[in-house]
Amino acid sequence: MSSALFSPLPLAGVELPNRLVVAPMCQYSADDGAASDWHMMHLGMLANSGAGLVIVEATHVERHGRITHGCVGLYSDNNELALGHVIAAAKTFGTAKFGVQLAHAGRKASSQRPWEGGTYLRPNEDPWQTIAPSALPFGEG
């Protein structure tokens, strides 16, 4: 019996081996935007999960566009080097194709990591002024 899920999908010049796609999942484990050893494990594992396509977590286009201090970015040469290193290894040793979710957190920026409370950064937590298309607050504080 043929299966749509496990049949190839041509997409923008890339052929995915199947239609299983891993959604982007923030890990809050970067160092000033730079992907870490955690990402090597996380994305390396997903590269060999059998999924046809893995989307890298929300990757922020500027430092103040991050949700938290642990979010991945692509706003410095160091960020580019760190993520490039992880993706090169994942592609060398894994089977999945990779995409990336470019992001700007807007009103959601300057927040604590979920396990730190997940609300706004306090004055002693190196907060920053958020930049967004709307002036409506995301939440209290």
Write out the residues near ligand FMN by the rule CB under 6 A.
23-26, 57-58, 101
Which residue number, 22 or 121, has a Cβ lying nearer to ligand FMN?
22
Hey, what are 83's tokens? 């993520």
For residues 4 and 16, the answer to whether their CB atoms sit within 8 Å is no
Q: Do residues 71 and 105 touch, judged by C-beta distance below 8 A?
A: yes
> CA–CA separation, 48 vs 95, rounded Å?
6
Residue 123 C-beta: closest distance to ligand FMN, Å: 27
Helix (H) or strand (E) holding 139: none
For 13, the token pair is 């010049």
Please identify, using beta-carbon distances, which residue of 25 and 122 lies nearer to ligand FMN.
25
Residue 27 CB, nearest distance to ligand FMN (Å)? 7
- Which one, 18 or 101, has the nearer CB to ligand FMN? 101
Q: Which is nearer to ligand FMN, 1 or 23 (CB)?
A: 23
| Minimum distance, C-beta of residue 56 to ligand FMN, in the bound complex (Å) | 9
Task: Give me the least distance between CB of 26 and ligand FMN, in Å please.
Answer: 4
List alpha helices for the chain, DSSP H. Answer: 37-47, 77-93
